[in-house]
Amino acid sequence: MAEEEKKSLNFLEQIVEEDLQSGKHGGRVLTRFPPEPNGYLHIGHAKSICLNFGLAAKYGGQTNLRFDDTNPEKEETEYVDSIKADVRWLGFEWAGEELYASNYFESLYQFAVTLIKKGLAYVDDQTSEQIASQKGNPNFPGEDSPYRYRTVEENLDLFSRMRAGEFGDGAKVLRAKIDMAHPNMHMRDPLMYRIKHAPHHRTGDTWCIYPMYDFAHGQSDSIEEITHSVCTLEFDVHRPLYEWFIEKLGIYPSHQYEFARLNLTHTVMSKRKLLQLVNEGVVDGWDDPRMPTISALRRRGFTPASIRNFCEKIGVAKRDNLIDVGVLDYCVREDLNKLATRVMAVLDPLKVVITNYPKGEVEELQVENNPEDVNSGSRAVPFSREIYIERDDFMEVPMKKFFRLGPGLMVRLKGAYIIKCDDFIKDEFGNITELHCSYIPESRSGSDTSGINVKGTIHWVSIQHAVKAEVRIYDRLLILEDASQVGDDFKKFINPDSLTVLPEVFVEPSLKEAKVGTNYQFMRKGYFCLDLDATEEHLVFNRTVGLKDTWVKEKSK
């Protein structure tokens, strides 16, 4: 490989290419994505999905989807189903059927028996508090458990009885016998099994002992003969234990590689904290569009391509860093700009009467669907004497370079005519309630012979034909930039403006046919999609993202 080519690869791609060149693993590439089914996947998992599936696809390999379902009290089939849907929505397919650590419970149990027979594991009767107090700290060695020197026969008997359900939860655990003075705290006789009399979402009441994640993880990789086990950086201190189990068992030598996890500004990336937000009703479920879950991003209108492009753009690093959420917004804008149909929607309506337009007349005007796509065509939009425009498209006392409507000012209506503001009406409180304008008949878009040039173009909807809708405007969930800097009090940093509901918005009639999963650009306002809450009688649209990032500008004022 040329040196320049090698430099363009991330460090994991370099490792895979070197392994392929050396013939390691027989030229195979088999990765895995191993989520725990105890919550919904978020944007950080999307990075891992794109990395694992993308790495295998690039080198002609495959990826297993394996659920590390070793904690029955927190796992549900609902989470399994949501994870499978998210992976497929992102555009990936796993090798064969999905797999589960629970598929290997019997094999893992026998691995544990093997370690007991080798004198490398023992049953401990101490409480979790006692075990923790004996672990020491990185500067001081731990203390041996008083049960560390039980005979092999005694440990085999106790472990078998643990499996048979003779003991209550927490009465006993199985620990690896490694080194209580090891500088790596994870190597100080770590737990391998604990007793949990809880039904499992797949195995029911078959088991009452369950393997710890660190014991199940590496052995499951080995059983599947995973060639490149890619984990996030916090697992680097677990790697010696991963390798110790594999070495002592003499099984297939899967190897673990670590990359930096995704940290995103203004975003909660802890599954535990996300669950807290759901359980405490701070958000309206896992797919609340303010959440960073993949299902929430999908509901908000993000596209699979935009998330894949985001993951590619931020790259793969060995050190943790904080990515500006604006990069994610940029990626979805870039994608939606190419595919979203342009439609007209007035979010803050102000009535306009075109006084010289014939009463009762309706024209069907052609408006382009997407100027970025020459094949997107156009659609008919009805135009009549009374229309709505955005309230901020009019100023009673226009500022300099205000190229919209004001007393005596002219503007072009998108796809329609040039109009001039002749007068306006105020209510008793001084609020402007209605504009009276005149139109230039010769200025119709596409056949303008008026010779008048105006600098501004605004969108509008015909009042007679407008469809009422609700619009939900979403913003950053946290006002705090780095969510990793706070503990359990993170909720005090919830952005009070993370959701703004506009209950009475008026949209062009074509949106009566809007479908969930289709993206729209509300001209000059941003990208929107139909929400799952919408009905034929009550349209609801979510703002995916604005046309430009106003967050930094607004917060710097």
Annotated binding site for L-glutamine: 68, 213
Quickly count: other Cβ atoms within 10 Å of residue 430's Cβ.
7
Asked if residue 370 lies in contact with residue 414, where contact means CB atoms within 8 angstroms, the answer is no
Active-site residue flag, 36: yes
135-170 b/e (C-beta count within 10 Å ≥ 16 → b): eeeeeeebeebebeebeeeebbebbeebbeeebeee
**R_g of the chain, CA atoms, integer Å:** 31
Asked if residue 204 lies in contact with residue 230, where contact means CB atoms within 8 angstroms, the answer is no
Q: Which amino acid is at 486?
A: V
- Spacing of C-alpha 351 from chain mean position: 40
The DSSP-derived string for 284-327 is SSTT-TTS-BHHHHHHHT--HHHHHHHHHHH---SS-EEE-HHH
Find the DSSP H helices in 405-451.
Answer: none
Separation of alpha carbons 215 and 191, rounded Å: 8
CA distances from 415 to 364, 367, 432 (A): 10, 6, 26
Q: Could you say which DSSP state residue 196 is in? A: -
**Which residues are annotated as part of the binding site?**
36-38, 42-48, 68, 213, 232, 261-262, 269-271
Separation of alpha carbons 125 and 186, rounded Å: 20
Separation of alpha carbons 125 and 296, rounded Å: 44
Q: List the 30-33 sheet strands across, edge first.
A: 30-33, 62-67, 99-100
**Which residues are annotated as part of the binding site for ATP?**
36-38, 42-48, 232, 261-262, 269-271
Contacts for 118 with CB less than 8 Å, ≥ 6 apart: 248
Residue with tokens 């697992």: 235
Asked if residue 352 lies in contact with residue 419, where contact means CB atoms within 8 angstroms, the answer is yes
Q: Which residues is 426 bridged to in the sheet?
A: 432
Active-site residue flag, 504: no
Q: Exposed/middle/buried for 57, CB within 10 Å: 0-12, 13-18, 19+?
A: middle
What tokens appear for 13 in the block? Answer: 């791609």
* Nearest-5° Cα angle at 46, 42 to 51: 150
**Of 261, 290, 414, 476, catalytic:** 261
Angle between helices 239-249 and 213-224 (to 10 degrees): 60
Separation of alpha carbons 189 and 6, rounded Å: 41
**Of 172, 202, 271, 300, catalytic:** 271
* Nearest-5° Cα angle at 107, 105 to 112: 95
Active-site residue flag, 455: no
The H or E element spanning position 217 is helix 213-224
**Of 17, 36, 76, 434, catalytic:** 36
Between the two ends of the chain, the Cα-to-Cα distance in Å is 51
Active site residues: 36, 261, 271
